[in-house]
Structure formats: structure tokens, C-alpha cells
Amino acid sequence: MDFSMVGKRIKEQRLENKMTQLMLSEKTGLCEDAIYSYENAKMIPGSEAIILMSNALNVSPDILLCDYLHKRITIKSDNIMNRLIKLPVSEQNRLLRIMDELIKETI
């Protein structure tokens, strides 16, 4: 199984959080070389490393592992929720109203 997507997702989430590899390493207690190795598919992170990184990046571990899980819809909705909760409440409410209207149109 190709685990390069796990590394890609770690890097995507790290950059989205405006973190360097050093910053993520300091937040997780993992060495910077390990972060580099995970992101570049030179090493496969174990479950403890996945949990440490997902906590530091404020995402569910599913986000990092979603290419290897079968419940893609749940994972995508978790990803949307993780992004939504980072927005101001007024923007959250605006987007929820838009989604409600889109859902009504499909019914």
C-alpha cells in the first residue's frame, strides 16, 4: 500500500496551519527529521505519531488517513466541519444558511 498520501495530507494540514516542520515537531515532541520523513513518504507514521500530529494540527486522524478508510463521506464532512469551526460565527451561520438552501433545492 502506498502511504505517500498520508505524508501529503500531513504537509497540507501543516501548511494550512501556517506551521513549519520545526514548529510541528515542537508541538508534537517528534523530531523534525521524522516530520520530514513522514511528509516525504520515507517513513510511515505509527498510530501514536498520527494522534500527536492530528492533535497539533487540530484535525481528526481521519483527515490524515482518509485515503485508507472506507467512509469517505464522513471524512469529507469532518474536514468541512474542521474548516467551518475555524471561521467567525457570523461566517459559519452564513455558510449554514447557504447549505440549507442548496439542500432544499435538491429535495
Cell output for 89 = 460565527
Over residues 40-68, the mean pLDDT reads 90
Number of domains in the chain: 1
- pLDDT of 103 over the 60 cut: yes
The pLDDT of residue 75 is 64
User: What CATH number has the domain bearing residue 21?
Assistant: 1.10.260.40
The pLDDT of residue 77 is 77
Residues contacting residue 50 through CB under 8 Å, at least 6 positions apart: 6, 61, 64, 65
Q: Lowest mean pLDDT of 41-45, 51-55, 61-65, name the range.
A: 61-65
The pLDDT of residue 55 is 96
- Alpha helices of the chain — where are they, by DSSP H? 4-16, 21-28, 32-39, 47-57, 61-65, 72-84, 89-106
Angle formed by the axes of helices 32-39 and 47-57, nearest 10°: 100
Query: In which band, very low, low, confident or very high, does the pLDDT at 66 lie, cut at 50, 70 and 90?
Result: confident
pLDDT averaged over every residue in the chain:
88
Q: How far apart are CA 99 and CA 65, in angstroms?
A: 26
pTM for the whole thing?
A: 0.64
Q: Which domain holds residue 80?
A: 4-106
- pLDDT of 74 over the 80 cut: no
